[in-house]
Structure 1
Amino acid sequence: MRWTRVVTIVPLWIALSIQQPKDPLDSFCRIFGHQTAVVDRRLYVDGGFVNHGSLPQDPKNYTNTALLDADLDVTNLGMPILRSNLSKPDKVPDVNGAILWSDPVNKVLYLYGGEYSDGEPDPFSLWAYDIVPSKWKSMPAGSEDRDIQRASYGAGAVVEGGEFAYYYGGWLSNASVPSWGSRPPLALSSLLMYNMDLHTWTNSSGPDSIGRAEGAMVYLPASDRGMLVYFGGLQVADGMGKTTPQPMDEILIYDIANSKWYTQKATGQVPEDRRRFCAGATWASDYSSYNIYLYGGSEISEGVGFDDVYILSLPSFKWIKWYPTEPGPGYPHHSLSCSVVDGAQMIIIGGVFTNTTMCDVPNVYAMHNMDLGKQNPDSAPWYQFRPNLTTYKVPPEIVSAIGGSESGKANVTSPKGGFGDRDLNTYFQRVYTPPPRTPTHTPEDDDSTPVGAIAGGTVGGVAGLCIIAGGLYLWLRRRRKQEETTVEETVPTPSAPETKPPTMYELPAEREQPIGELANTAPVEMESPGVTKHFSLPGDNHHHYQHPSPHSRDPSSPSAELPV
Structure 2
Amino acid sequence: MFLLTLSLLALLVKTTVQQKDPLNDFCRRFGHQTAVVDRKLFIDGGLLDWNPISQNPLNYTNTWLLYNDLDTSPAGIGTPQLYANLSKNASIPSVSGGILWPDDVNKRVYLYGGEYYQTQASSYSLLSYDVLNDDWDSFGVPSASIQSVSYGAGVGVSDIGEGYMLGGWLSNASVPGWSGAPLATSTLVKYDMDKGAWTNNTGPDNTPRAEGAMVYLPASLSGLLVHFGGLTTPYGNGTIVGSPMSEIHIYDIQSSSWYTQTAVGDVPEMRRRFCAGATWAPDRSSYNIYLYGGAGFDANATGFDDVYILSLPSFTWIKWWPSTPGSGKPHNTLSCNVIDGAQMIIVGGTFPLSSDCDSPATWGTHNLDLGKQNSAGAMWHDYQPNLTTYAVPSEIIAVVGGSSLGGATLTAPASGYDNRDLAVYFTQQASVASRTPTRQIPTPSATQSSGSSSSSSSLSSGAIAGIAIGAAVVVIALLIGAWVCIRRRRRDVPKQSPASDFSNVHEQPYPYTPSPNSQYIPPMNQEFHPARQPHSPFQQPTSIAELAGTTSPHPDENQKFYSPPPNDSSYALEWVPHSATNPHQSPVSVQASLHSEMTPVTELSGSNPMILHENQRSP
2:12 corresponds in structure 1 to: 17
1:340-351 to structure 2, matched below 5 A, reads 340-351=338-349
Distance in 2 (alpha carbons) for counterparts of 1:34 and 1:304: 21
2:495 aligned with 1:438 = no
Q: Secondary structure at the match of 2:93?
A: coil
2:217 corresponds in structure 1 to: 220
Q: CA deviation at 1:198?
A: 1.0
1:547 corresponds in structure 2 to: none
Q: TM-score, normalised by structure 2?
A: 0.75
- Relative to structure 1, the CA distance from residue 312 to residue 94 in structure 2 (aligned partners, 3 Å threshold; closer, same or farther) is same
1:269 corresponds in structure 2 to: 266
Residue correspondences, number: 504
Distance in 1 (alpha carbons) for counterparts of 2:119 and 2:195: 33
Contact 1:268 / 1:319 at 8 angstroms: preserved in 2?
yes
2:100 corresponds in structure 1 to: 100
1:74 corresponds in structure 2 to: 72
Distance in 2 (alpha carbons) for counterparts of 1:10 and 1:500: 49
- Relative to structure 1, the CA distance from residue 399 to residue 502 in structure 2 (aligned partners, 3 Å threshold; closer, same or farther) is same
2:354 corresponds in structure 1 to: 356
Contact 1:240 / 1:499 at 8 angstroms: preserved in 2?
no
Q: Deviations over 1:502-554 (max 9, x none)?
A: 598x9998259xx96643427999977479xxxxxxxxxxxxxxxxxxxxx99
Contact 2:579 / 2:608 at 8 angstroms: preserved in 1?
no
Distance in 2 (alpha carbons) for counterparts of 1:81 and 1:101: 22
Distance in 1 (alpha carbons) for counterparts of 2:311 and 2:277: 12
The runs of 5 or more residues in structure 1 that have no matched partner are 1-7, 444-451, 492-496, 532-552, 559-564
Q: CA deviation at 1:137?
A: 1.5
Distance in 1 (alpha carbons) for counterparts of 2:167 and 2:84: 31
Moved more, 412-421 or 254-263: 412-421
Distance in 2 (alpha carbons) for counterparts of 1:329 and 1:272: 12
Distance in 1 (alpha carbons) for counterparts of 2:248 and 2:117: 32
Distance in 2 (alpha carbons) for counterparts of 1:476 and 1:273: 43
2:256 aligned with 1:259 = yes
Alignment partner for residue 534 of structure 2, among 473, 478, 485?
Answer: 485
1:175 corresponds in structure 2 to: 173
Distance in 2 (alpha carbons) for counterparts of 1:165 and 1:518: 39
Q: Deviations over 1:365-384 (max 9, x none)?
A: 01110000011122111111
Alignment partner for residue 283 of structure 1, among 275, 280, 283?
Answer: 280
Contact 2:46 / 2:62 at 8 angstroms: preserved in 1?
yes
Alignment partner for residue 230 of structure 2, among 220, 233, 247?
Answer: 233
2:80 aligned with 1:83 = no
Contact 2:209 / 2:230 at 8 angstroms: preserved in 1?
yes
Q: CA deviation at 1:24?
A: 2.3
Q: Deviations over 1:284-325 (max 9, x none)?
A: 000110000000000024332100000000000000000000
Q: CA deviation at 1:245?
A: 0.4
Distance in 2 (alpha carbons) for counterparts of 1:528 and 1:88: 36
Q: Secondary structure at the match of 1:115?
A: coil
- Relative to structure 1, the CA distance from residue 377 to residue 511 in structure 2 (aligned partners, 3 Å threshold; closer, same or farther) is farther
Contact 1:61 / 1:484 at 8 angstroms: preserved in 2?
no
Q: CA deviation at 1:434?
A: 1.8
Q: CA deviation at 1:437?
A: 1.0
- Relative to structure 1, the CA distance from residue 197 to residue 438 in structure 2 (aligned partners, 3 Å threshold; closer, same or farther) is same
2:367 aligned with 1:369 = yes
1:516-531 to structure 2, matched below 5 A, reads 518-521=575-578, 529=586
- Relative to structure 1, the CA distance from residue 15 to residue 169 in structure 2 (aligned partners, 3 Å threshold; closer, same or farther) is same
Moved more, 426-435 or 477-486: 477-486
Distance in 2 (alpha carbons) for counterparts of 1:197 and 1:481: 41
Q: Secondary structure at the match of 2:399?
A: helix
Contact 1:160 / 1:434 at 8 angstroms: preserved in 2?
no
Alignment partner for residue 390 of structure 1, among 367, 373, 388?
Answer: 388
Contact 1:220 / 1:226 at 8 angstroms: preserved in 2?
yes
1:125 corresponds in structure 2 to: 125
- Relative to structure 1, the CA distance from residue 424 to residue 480 in structure 2 (aligned partners, 3 Å threshold; closer, same or farther) is same
AA aligned opposite 2:553 = E
1:41-80 to structure 2, matched below 5 A, reads 41-76=39-74, 77-80=77-80
Q: Deviations over 1:210-235 (max 9, x none)?
A: 01100000000000100000000001
Contact 2:224 / 2:253 at 8 angstroms: preserved in 1?
yes
Contact 2:578 / 2:608 at 8 angstroms: preserved in 1?
no
Distance in 1 (alpha carbons) for counterparts of 2:57 and 2:583: 17
Moved more, 85-94 or 100-109: 85-94
Distance in 2 (alpha carbons) for counterparts of 1:9 and 1:80: 46
- Relative to structure 1, the CA distance from residue 17 to residue 56 in structure 2 (aligned partners, 3 Å threshold; closer, same or farther) is closer
- Relative to structure 1, the CA distance from residue 242 to residue 516 in structure 2 (aligned partners, 3 Å threshold; closer, same or farther) is closer
RMSD: 3.5
Q: Deviations over 1:100-130 (max 9, x none)?
A: 1000000000011111001210001111000
User: Rg bigger for which structure?
Assistant: 2
Percentage of matched positions with identical amino acids: 48
Q: Secondary structure at the match of 1:334?
A: coil
Q: Deviations over 1:407-448 (max 9, x none)?
A: 1111111112111100000000000132111100358xxxxx
Distance in 1 (alpha carbons) for counterparts of 2:335 and 2:543: 19
Distance in 1 (alpha carbons) for counterparts of 2:580 and 2:46: 22
2:415 corresponds in structure 1 to: 417
Q: CA deviation at 1:10?
A: 10
AA aligned opposite 1:521 = H
AA aligned opposite 1:441 = R
Q: CA deviation at 1:486?
A: 7.6
- Relative to structure 1, the CA distance from residue 46 to residue 162 in structure 2 (aligned partners, 3 Å threshold; closer, same or farther) is farther
Q: Deviations over 1:169-214 (max 9, x none)?
A: 0000011001112x11110100011010111100111111101100
Q: Deviations over 1:473-521 (max 9, x none)?
A: x999723697353897xx9xxxxx95457598x9998259xx9664342
1:115 corresponds in structure 2 to: 115
Q: Secondary structure at the match of 1:363?
A: helix
Q: Secondary structure at the match of 2:58?
A: coil
AA aligned opposite 2:576 = A
Q: CA deviation at 1:145?
A: 1.8
1:164 corresponds in structure 2 to: 162
Distance in 2 (alpha carbons) for counterparts of 1:528 and 1:358: 16
Distance in 1 (alpha carbons) for counterparts of 2:286 and 2:367: 22
Q: Secondary structure at the match of 1:116?
A: coil
AA aligned opposite 2:110 = Y
Distance in 2 (alpha carbons) for counterparts of 1:223 and 1:162: 13
Q: Secondary structure at the match of 2:96?
A: strand
